[in-house]
Structure 1
Amino acid sequence: MTSVLGFALLGLALIAGPCVAFIPIGGGSSTHVSITGMALLGKVKEVCQAVADEGGYEFKPTGSSPEELVQGCLGPTATGIVSGAKFHTALQEIYTQNGLVDRDFSNSAPHHFNSETFNEGRGLILEGMGAIKANIRSESYKAAREALGRVLHTLQDFYSHSNWVELQNTEPYINLLRPDLPLDNLADVNTPTCSDCESGSCPNPILPNILREKKLTSGYMGVYFSSKPKGKCSHGGKGDLTSTIVPRGGISKDERRFDNIAAHNAAVNLATSASTQLLEDIVLAVGNKEFLKMMGIARSSVVCFVIDTTGSMSDDIAEARKVVYEIIDSKKGTQDEPSEYILVPFNDPDFGPMFRTEDPDKMKKAISDLKPRGGGDIPEMCLSALQLALTGAPSSSHIYVFTDAAAKDIELKDTIAALIRTSKSTVSFFMTSRSKKRRRRATSSAFDAYKELALASGGQAIEVSKKQLPQATGVIRDTSTSALVTVLQRSVNPGKQETFTFTLDESLQNITLYITGQVTFTMTDPAGVTQSNTEATGKLGTVQTVGNLARIQLNDDKKKGKWKINVNSKQPYTVKVTGQSIITFIYNFVESFEGPHPGYAVLSGRPLAGQPTKLILSAIGKKGPSSMSVGDIGLVTVSGPESLSNGTVTDLGNGDILVTVDSVPDGEFLVIMKGTDKETNSEFQRQSTTMMSVSKVNIQAVVATSVEPGETLELPFGVTTQGPGGTYSIKARNDRDFPMVYPASLTLTTGKYANDTLTITPPATTPSGTYVTLTMEARSKDGTDSNYAVLRLSVITKITDFVQPVCKVLSVQSNDCPRDVSQCRPHQWEMSANVTDGNGTGIETIFLRKGNGTLSFSSLSAPFVVVKYNASCCSQIVEFIAVDEAGNVGKCYQSIVHSGSPRILTLSLLLWLCLLVSAFVVEP
């Protein structure tokens, strides 16, 4: 089915009409994105309801928007400001990977169930499901989302590209998700399947004997060739070269036409139901809370500390420990309680390992166990530790680095910059020096790399003495909060006097200004009231100055309208304005791709110079896009004379916008969005935090599959430049230090790709589910131009166990239960069963899914796990789930409902039972 990036395709098609180079299914109402979104949002609501029931609170979202869904899902801890940005980001990542199957695998029949590749297509689905479960278990949620998007595309294509609908099937083909069930009655290569359709649009060209015999077939697709076996159906459409070969036409139901409306609608409904079945299997395998984490539904941001542990850092470690304790104790039970804690220590020559936990007490212990040791007045492995944090923490995390020395591993600087740009994480450095001599040396050059990386990420580079450090860590308390947004971010180098204007809206809370550098300044509010840096407490706010940082917290009554701040300094300085608000945006720079189903792909590097820059932006408001009106969107310079390049905006619907900027500002730039909040009727402005710039160099590479431990993966890549040709150096690094082989340089000719291959070999001992981040860089000989590509791959042990756990009911004792349910209260019933793992990898977990009784079981390591259940006769149905170590899910169900009971089985319960029968084997 036609795919897109994010929500984009649907809106573009509706606006641009038939001239657009893709055709949305259903005349603009059904695409891979809408099908995937419907299944995901439905499953998220179910899981949120289950979590709320378990937690004893009500799940009552105030509306249907993702923002309101997140607010309701988080329950009592979501009082106050809670952002839906991470949920939006998770959805977009899934949609993006779904769409990229049409770009990266356009000629791969199994990825689309084309050309009767049913076993191969199912193999891709099963491999992907195994990768998703392994990635979630290893907390590699981004990898899980990417795999999920690809798998859903292939599964959905089955219903559009095969004749499953024409065979009058009204339920999804569960065998695609069940390798223990055969794919029966497949048409072989020598069996004709279609009649000729001269017009190319016939209601049902499937041969009558194929329909009568219930033979399963799919259309042949020729992207680069026009041949197909004799008598076979084609996929159809302009992109299929086989569709003009007899039998002509096609059986694809990708789009709704006058001749296939019913078949198209049926394919959409079945694809949606099948997607829901796949998501249900994942939820049962990993659990409700892990599924919600994968979907980006969490209380607040992740708090990540990267801490130098050399001998001179005892004061800094003590302050970091104090801050962590304060955050944990003050924010527990609030919407600002961190959803996860990450700690990465470093020394010389060691760094890591990365420690991560959701348990605040475990984080307290981990940071309390840090002891300064060794080292001295020497550089440390700071950037190696930061690389570990950037690849391990979720996107858009806030990372705080404590160090008093320069980076020994300075060669990682460009890699860190690439990771910052792709992850959109913010990095702040707390740089201390013990002696004046050392402080002068650090200030002059050693800390320059930290300052540049902080600026690139939108963070702070704070230089203080060790005694001043406790006064500077308020930045951590400010930013480790929910719904943090940036209103303004600017850098001035060299220093000069400049006035900055910005708009504050009524939705903003806890507004804070940060100025780094030796400056004087004066703030002016919309009413003309002023306050200078010399007034610690004034009419506008509270000013705290420590080291090179001025931190200004505005008074609560000072918000709405146009503000100004005049700053004067002879030294470089930065200005940043932040606050808390649900109004924000997420964005990705994109490039278009052609093929049978054209669309947009997220750039893994910098946009190309010399051509329009495109981005897709999702605006987020309190109650979704209906609660806000978006105005100008563009790119604004970070430093130098302020330059704003407004983009041409195409509304894609649902708050999603395609922005095309023809004239990109020189140097580094940020994304800026302005509009009106309808809830408060006030104008707002928001900026991104991560700096970006354009390049004439481009790297293209695609990770097509996962890799097994001990095996070598070949990764083809190509490099081109629109600038001068010549020798370009190639550098590649990965965060796991796996062995790699690649060329040190490539010779480029302007406008042409030079192709080569990188190989990477994870050790045989690598745990399944390990997520590897690989950064490649191409740089011109004179160093004036470069670009990067950040790629991610999963290390997955080959799965051989596809057999679900089996449940054998041993006994049911319900004789004491009365037939009249109204008399059930004083009576009990019980059941016992054996659970075995059919393929011997072992049962990992057993849990109760339905029923209000008590579930107990014997040791999970035993060959037969004895399960016992006891409940009131008022609770007459039980279902428990068994998951083996390979992630296979089995369901055990028992009912004591009497046929003559006054209790009425509702239609929904009957349908639920019918679905259950096909999902699990219960032996009497």
Structure 2
Amino acid sequence: MHLHTGLLTLCFGWAFAFYPNRECPDVGLSDLTDEDITRNAILTAVATFMEGNPLPGKPGFKPGELVDLVPLTPTSLFKAYFRADVSPNQFIQAIQNIVTGNDEVERLYAQQSDYHFHCEQITKSITLFQQYRDEIFTQIKVSKDKMDVNAYEKAQLKMGMALHILQKFYSNTNWVEMGKRTTYRHLVNASDPVFPIASSAIKTCKDCLPTESGSLNCSGNLLVDNLLTSGYKKLETCAAKPKGKCGHGGKYDETRLQSPTGGINKETANPELSPHSNLHDKAARLAENATVEFFIGPGFGFLDSLGPSVFRKFFNLQGYSLSFVIDTTSSMSDEINLVKTICINIIKKVMNSSDAPYNYVLVPFNDPSFGPAIVTHDVAYFQSQIGALTATGGDDCPEMSMNGLKLALANSEPRSNIFLFTDAGAKDVALLDEVMIQASSVETQIYPMLTGYCSASGDVVEDNEYMKLAKVTGQHYTRVQKGKLNSVLGITELALNSAPAVLVQVTERTKKLLFYVDETLRELSISVKKNNDVPFYFFLLTPGDTDKTRSRRKRAVTMDAKVSSLVNTTNYQVVKVQVTQPGQWAVEMSSLDTYTFEIAGKSLLDFSYKIMEEKNGYVLPIQGRPEKGAEYILSVAVEGDSGKLTLTRVIIFDETGKINKAYDVNKSTDSRGQLRVSVPVRFNLTSFTLGIAGKTESGSEFHRCKPHLIRTESISLKLSEGQKSTLTEGTSLNVLVIASNVGPDQTFTFNVKDELSLMRSFNPQSILIAQGQNVTLTATFEAPKPLSQQLSSLVTFTAKGGTSTNYLKSVITVVPEVKEIPDQDPPQYNITQLGDICKGKKKSVQVCKSHNWDLEFQAWDNISGVFVELGLPAAEIPPVYSLNCNDTIISGVSWASCQYSSDCCYPHVSLILTDATGNANLLDVDFRDSQKESWSSAPRIQSSVVLAVSLLSAIFY
């Protein structure tokens, strides 16, 4: 493995197949990566599903109407399907979780050849893939009615791991080289026929030819065109490249100069990296087609196996949840009826709009009880459940609000809106970090709405847990006097937006704020808040305006019908504005003071991001929160429906929304509708937000920012190098996690949770870590026994100190013990008669066609039937031949008695004998003699051999 000192490193050393993503500098413009293949396949599968499943009450689609969108992107697909501006953010999150799972294979299983179809581990790889698939399908079938957002996240991660194995078949085996132009269906559907595999006894490659430039020409280096093989590369599970076997190849393969030189990988279109680079596109397209089949293959794919409702849920196609977490303790008795009225009014306002939520979630909380969670699509039922709430109990002030939020997060769709109503602090405030991690990981927004506050000590805390929650999730913390909740009801309207886009979120001392509005925005919300109670008002200035559109304090009706007031209190005002003209706008305040501005709107022009790090020679998404001061790669992807977009800047904002660092870029949407850049970054702030700036096709400047706060931590958690994450039933596994502290000396408390309760112990539970030092957290997991099939558990490791908290998520997989040794014996054969009439000197075609040679043989297998087929290379003179076999069973053994006959213009044959599980033998007969002229000029498959009968053993699942 090569070591790197620069930030943007070459993706090599561990490179086994299609590269994970475009952040790897070795990836060329024409290369298709794991992420490209997975993303394109998911878009095709989902578009196909949407064509066949239009929204209730909406017209249907013609075949290809969605699949053939140009470009086909999440944004274009959602806009066409919903026939409205509906953000695909939840769908993008599902795709990203699957891609992350694909990446995790490179993090966890880089040294295991069966995850990559490496070193002719073809049968093991197929079995492994099918175990993953069966686990995912079975677990969802068994528990689909109980699965929460965390369970679906785990399923998406596991799906990505399975797809990694599936896709590697096409880059690392010789399927494409054999001329196959369709997918290997047996991979995704075990009932389809198997294909025979080259055994360890047969040579599969010859040396590649050196060129004048010093490189290798590997065209035609394969020696087999009727058996599966794959490339070898040194791994923990593959110590050396055997004699006569193909290598992986490419300049980062240390065995590439060992005979047979070169290799067969097709992972890129660069011949220096991929010896069969000319087949890269074909391999990638087949991998993409196979991934589509995995999802929507008729009768066996994910859709037909689990049904349309699970398919929608799995890909987050249904939209967001509208969730209410309501305090029902006796102190809320004066408020509960108003809260119920507010919630029901919100539901009525949104239920029939294009922005209607997918479902509704209600979680009441008290003390010490909380829940249960009520999740429904039935609006009438949901309203009745809200109406039935009463306020009682809860003797002391703080209540169980964090448990209520945890339950709501678990039952809400990703990227949802949760409204919290309470008049007290959280008794279970120790869960705050867990709630913030959970909310941040699914990008759900929490709106705390308080009519009072008290802590466990009875004191009012200024920077309380609800303020922290609102800040982390990028939303408003609202506190009003009892009985005044109606005055801030308009805040809820900000959440009911099917395509939310934030332009500005900043706190600063100013009298005038400038901002840009682009033509994709149809409406704006302008929110202004201040910490003191000094009355204020503001003017809204649009491009070219001479008159000022005013929004004044305590004014219910605005001067302009295009402006409506949503909130109007002493220190908080929100207006909604219809956009009539793009360009530079301004908010002019009535006086110089410190204000918090949030300017947002409805637009499909948005972005997503990934914070990435170097790992195993690749660039992969980080796990947990970034470490303060560490170097990362920030990848930004822009989504939009405004034609060709140009990204000009990637921006890091400090916690107040002021620019901390801006990176100048200049990149436009490509032919596939993608606009993505990556920049090297170092996060020196304790917390920050991200934003972008660019131009639309018409030249309008656009700005977007993500309102949720990203925290850096002094503590980091990483799996130990080479850590295993699979254990066999009845065994135990120690998982080592390295905790590193770059901050001040402090004591950290550790915790480990896994959903299947496989963890038996962990140590240490608490320890002092000095600055610059690290400790090893050891968690022991035990697999249950007996086990009928593979299962997995999502494990979360957390470390919490006085000033820093971080987490790490990983998947632990348990596999059943192999109780039966699979059939590994190939069919046997015995030649009973062989005619040698074709021996002699070369004759004319007319003469050689008038003479035939015969072969009679018996083949048998102790377990299953024997299948005999020809494996003939292309001939200049097509042979005239016949092959007939009679099958019989004698004493439980399957026998095939066969006769083969051919004219002497083709004096050689290769017969493949295969059993039901794919174990193969090769029977070769060749009368050509290099010392004499042969009967024909047909291409030779063996030289200097008068008669060759070779045994080929292989295992094929």
> TM-score, length-normalised on structure 2?
0.71
Report the CA distance shift for 1:4/1:125 in structure 2 as closer, same or farther (over 3 A).
same
Q: Secondary structure at the match of 1:378?
A: coil
Residues 1:644 and 2:660 are matched in the alignment:
yes
Residues 1:582 and 2:604 are matched in the alignment:
yes
Could you say which residue in structure 2 is the equivalent of 1:31?
Answer: 33
**Counterpart amino acid of residue 227 in structure 1:** A
**Counterpart amino acid of residue 166 in structure 2:** L
Report the CA distance shift for 1:237/1:109 in structure 2 as closer, same or farther (over 3 A).
same
From 141, 160, 185, give the equivalent of 2:196. Answer: 185
Residues 1:176 and 2:176 are matched in the alignment:
no
Residues 1:610 and 2:626 are matched in the alignment:
no
From 278, 286, 302, give the equivalent of 2:321. Answer: 302
Report the CA distance shift for 1:279/1:591 in structure 2 as closer, same or farther (over 3 A).
same
Residues 1:227 and 2:264 are matched in the alignment:
no
Mapped partners of 1:345, 1:795: distance in 2: 36
Could you say which residue in structure 2 is the equivalent of 1:553?
Answer: 575
Report the CA distance shift for 1:359/1:219 in structure 2 as closer, same or farther (over 3 A).
farther
Deviation at 1:710, TM superposition (A): 10
Asked if the contact 1:458–1:691 (Cα under 8 Å) also holds between the matched residues in 2, the reply is yes
Mapped partners of 2:743, 2:528: distance in 1: 38
Equivalent runs, 1:209-608 vs 2, <5 Å: 210-211=224-225, 214-223=226-235, 227-256=240-269, 260=276, 263-280=279-296, 281-298=301-318, 300-314=319-333, 316-433=335-452, 444-445=460-461, 448-491=464-507, 499-516=512-529, 517-519=531-533, 520-524=535-539, 525-526=541-542, 527=545, 529=548, 531-533=551-553, 535-539=555-559, 541-543=563-565, 550-556=572-578, 560=582, 561-566=584-589, 574-595=596-617, 598=618, 600-608=619-627
Could you say which residue in structure 2 is the equivalent of 1:158?
Answer: 169
Report the CA distance shift for 1:424/1:771 in structure 2 as closer, same or farther (over 3 A).
farther
Deviation at 1:585, TM superposition (A): 1.4
Deviation at 1:54, TM superposition (A): 8.3
1:318-350 Cα shifts (integer Å, max 9, x gaps): 444434433443333432110122223322223
From 47, 51, 57, give the equivalent of 2:49. Answer: 47
1:716-769 Cα shifts (integer Å, max 9, x gaps): 322223445675443445688886632223565766653332346799999999
Could you say which residue in structure 1 is the equivalent of 2:892?
Answer: none
Deviation at 1:482, TM superposition (A): 0.5
Could you say which residue in structure 1 is the equivalent of 2:875?
Answer: none
**Counterpart amino acid of residue 538 in structure 2:** M
Structure ID, larger Rg: 2
Mapped partners of 1:404, 1:620: distance in 2: 40
Q: Secondary structure at the match of 2:198?
A: coil
Mapped partners of 2:576, 2:46: distance in 1: 38
Mapped partners of 1:445, 1:454: distance in 2: 15
Residues 1:778 and 2:799 are matched in the alignment:
yes
Mapped partners of 1:289, 1:70: distance in 2: 19
Deviation at 1:251, TM superposition (A): 2.0
Could you say which residue in structure 2 is the equivalent of 1:803?
Answer: none
In structure 1, runs of 5+ residues without a counterpart are 13-19, 801-924
Asked if the contact 1:122–1:176 (Cα under 8 Å) also holds between the matched residues in 2, the reply is yes
Equivalent runs, 1:3-42 vs 2, <5 Å: 3=18, 8-9=22-23, 20=25, 22-24=26-28, 28-42=30-44
Q: How many residues align?
A: 763
1:804-832 Cα shifts (integer Å, max 9, x gaps): xxxxxxxxxxxxxxxxxxxxxxxxxxxxx
From 642, 657, 662, give the equivalent of 2:676. Answer: 657
Report the CA distance shift for 1:131/1:336 in structure 2 as closer, same or farther (over 3 A).
farther
Could you say which residue in structure 2 is the equivalent of 1:839?
Answer: none
**Counterpart amino acid of residue 736 in structure 2:** P
Mapped partners of 1:764, 1:470: distance in 2: 57
Mapped partners of 1:339, 1:70: distance in 2: 18
Asked if the contact 1:604–1:788 (Cα under 8 Å) also holds between the matched residues in 2, the reply is no
**Counterpart amino acid of residue 620 in structure 2:** A
Report the CA distance shift for 1:193/1:85 in structure 2 as closer, same or farther (over 3 A).
same
Mapped partners of 1:456, 1:109: distance in 2: 41
Asked if the contact 1:634–1:661 (Cα under 8 Å) also holds between the matched residues in 2, the reply is no
From 687, 692, 709, give the equivalent of 2:710. Answer: 692
Report the CA distance shift for 1:733/1:400 in structure 2 as closer, same or farther (over 3 A).
farther
Deviation at 1:53, TM superposition (A): 9.3
Could you say which residue in structure 1 is the equivalent of 2:102?
Answer: 98
Could you say which residue in structure 2 is the equivalent of 1:633?
Answer: 650
Report the CA distance shift for 1:712/1:401 in structure 2 as closer, same or farther (over 3 A).
farther
Could you say which residue in structure 2 is the equivalent of 1:912?
Answer: none
Could you say which residue in structure 2 is the equivalent of 1:58?
Answer: 60
**Counterpart amino acid of residue 581 in structure 1:** S
Mapped partners of 1:704, 1:514: distance in 2: 50
> TM-score, length-normalised on structure 1?
0.73
Mapped partners of 1:409, 1:170: distance in 2: 59
Q: Secondary structure at the match of 1:148?
A: helix
Deviation at 1:708, TM superposition (A): 10
1:72-108 Cα shifts (integer Å, max 9, x gaps): 5534xx43x3223333333333333323423332211
Q: Bigger CA drift: 648-657 or 110-119?
A: 648-657
Mapped partners of 1:635, 1:490: distance in 2: 12
Mapped partners of 2:247, 2:686: distance in 1: 50
Could you say which residue in structure 2 is the equivalent of 1:819?
Answer: none
Q: Secondary structure at the match of 2:95?
A: helix
Asked if the contact 1:5–1:92 (Cα under 8 Å) also holds between the matched residues in 2, the reply is no
Mapped partners of 2:779, 2:312: distance in 1: 35
Q: Give the structure with the higher percent helix.
A: 1
Equivalent runs, 1:126-145 vs 2, <5 Å: 126-133=130-137, 134-135=139-140, 137=144, 138=147, 140-145=151-156
How large is the Cα RMSD of the aligned pairs?
4.1
Report the CA distance shift for 1:762/1:246 in structure 2 as closer, same or farther (over 3 A).
closer
Report the CA distance shift for 1:569/1:722 in structure 2 as closer, same or farther (over 3 A).
same
Asked if the contact 2:18–2:267 (Cα under 8 Å) also holds between the matched residues in 1, the reply is no
**Counterpart amino acid of residue 471 in structure 1:** S
Asked if the contact 1:223–1:241 (Cα under 8 Å) also holds between the matched residues in 2, the reply is no
Could you say which residue in structure 2 is the equivalent of 1:788?
Answer: 806
Q: Bigger CA drift: 148-157 or 169-178?
A: 169-178
1:566-611 Cα shifts (integer Å, max 9, x gaps): 48799x974322221222212222223343xx2x322233323334
Mapped partners of 2:591, 2:782: distance in 1: 54
**Counterpart amino acid of residue 195 in structure 1:** K
**Counterpart amino acid of residue 663 in structure 2:** G
Asked if the contact 1:612–1:660 (Cα under 8 Å) also holds between the matched residues in 2, the reply is no
Residues 1:203 and 2:223 are matched in the alignment:
no
Deviation at 1:51, TM superposition (A): 0.8
Mapped partners of 2:681, 2:327: distance in 1: 44
Mapped partners of 1:248, 1:3: distance in 2: 21
Asked if the contact 2:76–2:641 (Cα under 8 Å) also holds between the matched residues in 1, the reply is no
1:467-498 Cα shifts (integer Å, max 9, x gaps): 11233233223202211122222346xxx666
Mapped partners of 1:564, 1:687: distance in 2: 18
In structure 2, runs of 5+ residues without a counterpart are 1-15, 211-215, 819-957
From 100, 121, 129, give the equivalent of 1:125. Answer: 129
Asked if the contact 2:265–2:277 (Cα under 8 Å) also holds between the matched residues in 1, the reply is no
Q: Secondary structure at the match of 1:307?
A: strand
Mapped partners of 1:107, 1:409: distance in 2: 43
Report the CA distance shift for 1:629/1:228 in structure 2 as closer, same or farther (over 3 A).
closer
Equivalent runs, 1:810-821 vs 2, <5 Å: none
Report the CA distance shift for 1:99/1:303 in structure 2 as closer, same or farther (over 3 A).
same
1:552-575 Cα shifts (integer Å, max 9, x gaps): 2134367642213548799x9743
Report the CA distance shift for 1:490/1:443 in structure 2 as closer, same or farther (over 3 A).
farther
Report the CA distance shift for 1:773/1:263 in structure 2 as closer, same or farther (over 3 A).
closer
